[in-house]
Amino acid sequence: MSINKLALIRYKTIDDCLKNRRRKWTLDDLIEKVSDVLYESEGIANGVSKRTIQADIQLMRSDKLGYNAPIVVAERKYYMYEDADYSITNTPISDADVDKMKEIVGVLKQFNGFNYFEEMSEMIARLENNLYQSTHQSRNCIQFEDNKRLKGLHHITPLYHCILNRKPLLLEYKSFKAKSAQQNVYFPYLLKEYRNRWFLIAKPKKGNLLATLALDRIIDFQELPKEKFVDYDGVDFDRYFDDVLGVTKTIKDRAHKIVLEVNKYNAPYILTKPLHPSQQVLRENENGIIIRIDVVLNFELEREILGFGECMKVLAPRRLAHVIKKRLANAAAQYIKPAAEEAATDEQEAG
């Protein structure tokens, strides 16, 4: 059964009336209230008929929509809910609705291998898990990465609408390195997620360089309706991060040919979860694999390589190999102690 928008408004209005037990509602009262709401929300001036409201009440009482609303008539005149705590908004999804939703999930899963639907895979899995829980009392079968303590997530929706509607922002931001927060006018272009952290790509009014602002460092912002929005010409933001690991990039940065050697124990991890979409295997032997990725040189790339420790070696370019070698040496130096300090530590542990 399809339900149109006006019918939903009528059901919701009747529900709001019957939840209000401080007033007694006759059929004429319900008709008047529903007519008022339809006029205010949809501009319908001819009201609603007695027959329509009576049919609505009968439908709400039935299980056709899954409501089974306990509507009774007191003193053969006043309509009310027999259960004072009842509301159609509290009604669980019916079995029929769950079955329909499962069918929809099944259809979506058929498209999951296509490029246009790859971004929906997590949403489909989450919906499928929620549907299973609604019909089976059991533990979760799937867990998604989630950091509930992550700051700045409440900024996502309003920033998204600012980007969508091309709204300039007066934004207060405090970087980790700054001693105090600063306010600047920004033109927002893109929201970007990397490793469960969100960033805003925007251009400050003063200057031509793009800024990457972490949402957890945004203190506050407001729209500037009188400020003219300025587009960033010459940049396709749909492809701006195609040649980068992470979010650190300027418009002048260009991808480099990065050649990495991975030992045989970690090769399967790299093969099944590539470091970057550009990854290709150059050679494979009994000692491991040599791969190539074409990305911008940045901090996130260095951190990715360092995460593999002794299992990965940079073969090219030489300046990246030098940087990684120096950082690994500095890390190892933290574990090298003077002989006297080493002896004292051994003595303390022995005691």
Same domain, 159 and 192: yes
Asked if the structure places residue 78 within a domain, the reply is: yes
Whether 100 has a pLDDT exceeding 80, the answer reads no
- Least confident stretch, 142-156, 227-241, 264-278: 142-156
Cis check: omega of the bond before 268, within 30 degrees of 0: no
331 Cβ neighbours under 8 A, 6+ residues apart: 306
The answer, yes or no, to whether residue 110 has pLDDT greater than 60, is: no
Parent domain of 113: 95-135
Please give the Cα distance from 200 to 80 (Å, whole number): 51
The pLDDT confidence band at residue 143, using thresholds 50, 70 and 90, is low
Q: Indicate if 103 and 81 belong to the same structural domain.
A: no
pTM of the model: 0.61
Domain boundary among 107, 135, 163: 135
Tell me, yes or no, whether 101 and 63 share the same domain.
Answer: no
Distance of alpha carbon 305 from alpha carbon 270, whole angstroms: 12
What is the rounded (10 degree) CA torsion for 185, 189, 193, 199? -10
Instruction: Output the average pLDDT for the chain.
Output: 86
Whether the per-residue pLDDT at 98 is higher than 70: the answer is: no
Q: Residue 105 domain-assigned?
A: yes
pLDDT, average across residues 32-59: 92
Does 322 fall in a domain? yes
pLDDT digits (tens, 9 = 90+) for 49-74: 999 999 999 999 998 877 889 999 99
| pLDDT, tens only, 3-29 | 578 888 999 999 999 999 889 999 999
12: CATH: 1.10.10
Statement: residue 84 has pLDDT above 80: yes
Whether residue 273 is contained in a domain is answered as yes
Same domain for 58 and 113? no
Amino acid letter for position 178? A
Whether residues 75 and 115 share a domain: the answer is no
- What pLDDT does 48 receive? 93
Average pLDDT over residues 197-219: 94
Could you tell me if 169 and 200 lie in one domain? yes
In a domain, 349, yes or no: no
Per-residue exposure over 169-205, b if at least 16 CB sit within 10 Å of its own CB, e if not: bebebeeeeeeeeeebbbbbbbbbebeebbbbbbbbe
Structural domain total, the chain: 4
Mean pLDDT of 31-56: 92
pLDDT value of position 179: 87
Side-chain half-sphere of 192: how many Cα atoms within 13 Å? 24
- The verdict on 169 and 189 lying in the same domain is yes
Q: How do the residues of the chain divide into helix, strand and coil, expressed in percent and rounded to 5?
A: 40, 20, 40
Q: Is 80 found in the same domain as 33?
A: yes
Q: Which residue has the higher pLDDT, 350 or 235?
A: 235
For residue 1, pLDDT over 50 is answered with no
Task: Let me know the angle formed at the C-alpha of 338 by 336 and 341, rounded to the nearest 5 degrees.
Answer: 105
pLDDT > 70: percent of the chain: 79
Q: Is residue 73 part of a domain?
A: yes
Which of 223, 242, 272 is a domain's end point? 223
Decide if 193 is inside a domain.
Answer: yes
> Which candidate, 283, 281, 288, 292, places its Cα nearest to that of 265?
288
What's the CATH number where 216 sits? 2.30.30
Is residue 197 domain-resident?
yes
- pLDDT band, very low/low/confident/very high, at 106 (cuts 50, 70, 90): low
Report pLDDT for 54: 95
For the purposes of burial, counting CB atoms within 10 Å of the CB of 310, is it exposed (0-12), middle (13-18) or buried (19 or more)? exposed
